[in-house]
Amino acid sequence: MTPDAIMNDLAAGLRNFHGREYYGTIDRDTLFFADLGLASIDAVVLAERLEQWYGRKLPFHELLGNLKARGMDDLPLGEIADFVAAHAAAGE
């Protein structure tokens, strides 16, 4: 599972996420909240969906907690892909 493969899965899954269609470019620099217009509850839903897709529990609280610690209020999708790839590989 590479970050690029996960990024492709993310892009496909977020094109029509919870009934919201998105037609813009989705890439590593796309911001979860600002660009896609999603809310914090959507982050929870995405986390659950990613765990289902990849068949393993992922510590998303670490990713989101680290975001606040860095003084950031948004999350580039590339960071999500890298995080999933690192934790999925660790669980194999």
User: Domain range spanning residue 47?
Assistant: 3-90
Per-residue confidence band for 85, with pLDDT thresholds at 50, 70 and 90: very high
32-65 residue pLDDT tens: 999 999 988 898 899 999 999 888 899 988 888 8
Count of CB atoms situated within 10 Å of the CB of 78: 17
- 22: domain CATH number? 1.10.1200.10
Q: For residue 1, what is the DSSP state?
A: -
pTM of the model: 0.86
**Cα dihedral 15, 20, 21, 24 in deg (nearest 10):** -70
CA distance 31 to 3: 16
| CA 14/CA 66 separation, integer angstroms | 23
- Is the pLDDT reported for residue 79 higher than 70? yes
Is the confidence at residue 11, as pLDDT, over 90? yes
Counting runs of H as helices and runs of E as strands, what totals does the chain give?
4, 2
- Domain total for the chain? 1
